[in-house]
Chain A
Amino acid sequence: MIEGLIAGLFDGISIGAVLLIVALGLAIVFGLMGVINLAHGELMMLGAYTTYVVQNGAKGLGGWAVESYIFVALPLAFLVAALVGLLMERSVIRHLYGRPLETLLATWGVSLILRQFVRSVNSPMAIGLVIFAALFVVGLWVLRRYTDWERIRSWANPVFFLLSFAIAALAGFILQSSGSAQFTRAWFSARNVDVTPPSWLRGGLALGTVLQFPYARLFIIVLTVLCLVGIYWFLQKSVWGLRIRSVTQNRSMSACLGIPTERVDALTFALGSGLAGIAGCAVTLLGSVGPNLGGNYIVDAFMVVVVGGVGKLVGSIVAAMVIGIITYLVGSGTLALVLSPFAALQPVTDFFTFFATTSMAKVMVFALIIAFLQVRPAGMFPQKGRSVEV
């Protein structure tokens, strides 16, 4: 009985840890800019694919590389996702500040593009992209250098964009139709791919006869804790963390005091995206990797942000743990099992049995969240102060 409960609690916490590591980046970005990034799940997916690529590279090397690829994959996943996030912020989101609903739609657009991108990316497409980026960046640089930029910027930007896009598309198309089958093969198949965890993450830590804690889950919990500590340290102790906190509290005052708010925004978005990459790397230990990987986690992560409130990190932590534990206890039927000996509680037991699947548990958790928001509409730890909107 007790062992069952402990096992349930452990599983709940491990679900919560996954939720938390996914929600962490979302919460930081939302706190700073009031923007929910619907492409967060796709940034996770990029992190997961990065892990897959690194693992394949490690398989080529063999030996110790196979065992320790994850330590290379983690920072790389962070880097890839952060770069893509930075690109998103600089190219699109930057223009949409103050319009959170439009930002929501724009990030959804990015997520669609990323999803199709991993399905159909092949060498000609990648080369086309590089050509496009080079033409666009170099072209704008030349224009800025040698012409009266302010006068022509209104039409030069779209014209240049379209021109370089057309050239790049043409180049990609020519390569696509003339290249060999090997050359034009899609890099990742549309089907899901599997990442095999290193052997030391397989199996589990056995306590007694019943309890067993899978190493992969333990690893994710440890990783989440490390990320939390790192983020906490960064926000509280570093110069840029101080700046992020000050912009979160009062943007215009921070700008007056000389804090470069634009750079803070870009940095924060990149940081949040990078965390998504790490989360993506972590979830490869739990299941296969596919273009729709992000969708499984992302809505729950939104709920963590909504329940936790945007004021403090601790809100996200508590919310993630509570949601994780409730989801597990209800979804696995543990709660129904615990209640079953009591005959008087038969209707309650039936009620919980009805919800005892993973998907039905989500139904119940959502109802609880709506009920919770009746009491605390702004989440557990709301922002306080005069600047908060009534």
Chain B
Amino acid sequence: MAVDLPIQPRRTSKALRQKRLLIEAGIVVAIALVLILVMPLVLTGFRLGLLGRFLSLAIVALGIDLIWGFTGLLSLGHGIFFALGGYAFAMYLQLTELPAGQLPEFFSLYGVSSLPWFWQPFYSLPFTLLAMVAIPAIVAGLFGYLVFRNRIRGVYFSILTQAALVVFFNFFNGQQKLINGTNGLKTATSVFLGQQVGGPEMRYFFYVATVIALALMYALCRWLTSGRFGRMLVAIRDDENRVRFSGYNPASFKVLVFAVSGAIAGIAGALYTVQSGIISPQAMDIGFSIEMVIWVAVGGRATLIGAILGAVLVNIARTMLSERFPDVWLFFQGALFLLVVTALPDGIVGWVRSRFGDRLPALFGGPSAVPAYVAEMELEAESYREKELADQ
């Protein structure tokens, strides 16, 4: 075990930190502007739509990175929150611009004559926007509370999230009379803010909204992970027992961060739904939720930029591969899983960092999300964990 850890000075001067933060904010705004203004000129409408979808998936990846990369909770069920956000917005779009007293079309197929009670509040846009965030957050918080309270963690937690996913899938899939079951809710022909959702103006509107949401969520995650809260998350990941012995209750932190992550996924789900034109229980497919995890792993865990990068790159690779060789995609994805856990555990960002090391932070004008000393401590914690496991 390394005795003399090369601990770097953690607290840089306030002025320097502020300057770095400003530069980072500048870069984020610049990238957002490029995405909003330049990309529509470069890409065709179809491709731009795809990019918008990938960016909304990058928002989920941010949420996953928050709980997995920083806190060490591997959720295999984020599809739940993604779908809840999507359903919330889609329900509003079903109801809006509907003549009074009329029901969305699919209800008549199942002989439902009055609107189910939980649809009622979705007539209102403010409620919908709130519900998009709050419902996934509440579901995640409740689930997290029931699980973390009992110190269930690690593989058990992952398996339970997967089971929850299957349960939600079954529920949404089976309830034709409540939410149209397997067929899901279509949004392309609905009208939002006086325009058709599937039309070109609205598409560009949602694309811009996605870019802005992504930037905001990046700022939120950056804020959450940089201060004391962020250090607590990392501490929980690396040694939960020690956190507990120091007088903190890890469960409440975990519940909070899981709820935040769920809310982020909800926003992403809503944006994805309006851009793809449909939300169906397929969004709660087991494979889709695990795929979200691999985006983060490919980009690099515990680096927010890695999550975004990974989500976009993997999805681009997916589109290109499945356009040309549909059979190969699953092989490729499987190989990606194996490669990322065995050969490239730190993902693309980690690899770049280890290759180009110190020169990079200077390039981006800020300290990396995981400073060198954290990486060092991680290594140590890893060897420690291995030893602990061997002790059992």
Q: Which residues of A contact B (CB under 8 A)?
A: 30, 34-36, 92, 95-106, 108-113, 115-117, 119-120, 158, 250-252, 255, 295, 299, 302-303, 305-306, 357, 359-360, 362-363, 366, 369-370, 373-374, 377, 387-390
Contacts and interface: CB of A to CB of B under 8 A. Distances in A.
Contacts of A388: 392
B335 A109 contact: yes
A105 B170 contact: no
A8 to B, nearest CB: 21
A34 to B, nearest CB: 7
A188 to B, nearest CB: 14
B7 to A, nearest CB: 25
A105 B341 contact: yes
Contacts of A112: 287, 330-331, 333-334, 337
Nearest to B330: A116
Contacts of A102: 341, 345
Contact of B327 (A104, A119, A302): A119
26 contacts: A30-B155, A34-B155, A95-B342, A100-B154, A101-B72, A101-B74, A104-B155, A105-B290, A105-B293, A105-B337, A109-B333, A112-B331, A113-B330, A115-B330, A116-B330, A117-B331, A251-B389, A255-B390, A302-B159, A302-B162, A359-B174, A360-B170, A366-B163, A373-B147, A373-B160, A377-B151
A158 B343 CA distance: 10
Contact of A360 (B174, B286, B336, B382): B174
A92 B68 CA distance: 22
A98 B152 CA distance: 18
A364 to B, nearest CB: 9
B338 interface: yes
B196 interface: no
For chain B, give the interface size range. 35 or more
Given A255-B390, A299-B162, A359-B174, 20 more contacts: A34-B154, A96-B342, A97-B389, A100-B154, A100-B155, A101-B72, A105-B290, A105-B341, A108-B337, A109-B338, A110-B338, A116-B330, A251-B391, A252-B391, A299-B286, A302-B162, A363-B171, A374-B150, A377-B150, A389-B241
A10 B121 CA distance: 46
A315 to B, nearest CB: 14
Contacts of A36: 155, 158-159
Contacts of A295: 286
B164 interface: yes
A387 B392 contact: yes
Contacts of A306: 156, 159-160, 163
Given A109-B337, A252-B390, A362-B170, A104 B146 contact: no
A350 B297 CA distance: 46
Interface in B283-297: 286-287, 290, 293-294, 297
B64 to A, nearest CB: 12
A98 B386 contact: yes
Given A105-B294, A303-B163, A373 B152 contact: yes
Nearest to B337: A109
Nearest to B245: A390
Given A92-B342, A95-B342, A108-B337, A362 B392 contact: no
Contact of A34 (B173, B343, B386, B389): B389
Contacts of B389: 34, 97-98, 251
Given A108-B290, A110-B334, A113-B330, A360 B171 contact: yes
Q: Per DSSP, are chain A's interface residues mostly helix, strand or loop, or mixed?
A: helix
Contacts of A387: 391-392
Contacts of A250: 392
A302 B342 CA distance: 24
B166 interface: yes
Interface string B124-168: 000000000000000000000011011110111011101110110
A120 B334 CA distance: 15
A360 B178 CA distance: 14
Contacts of A119: 327
B149 to A, nearest CB: 8
Contacts of A251: 389-392
B385 interface: yes
Find the residue from A106, A112, A369 having the highest chain B CB count within 10 A: A112
- By Cβ-Cβ distance, the 5 closest A-B pairs, closest first, are A109-B337, A377-B150, A113-B334, A116-B330, A112-B334
A100 B170 CA distance: 28
Nearest to A95: B342
B338 A92 contact: yes
Contacts of B286: 295, 299
A98 B158 CA distance: 16
Interface string B287-313: 100100110010000000000000000
A359 B74 contact: no
A106 B147 contact: no
Contact of B173 (A101, A117, A359): A359
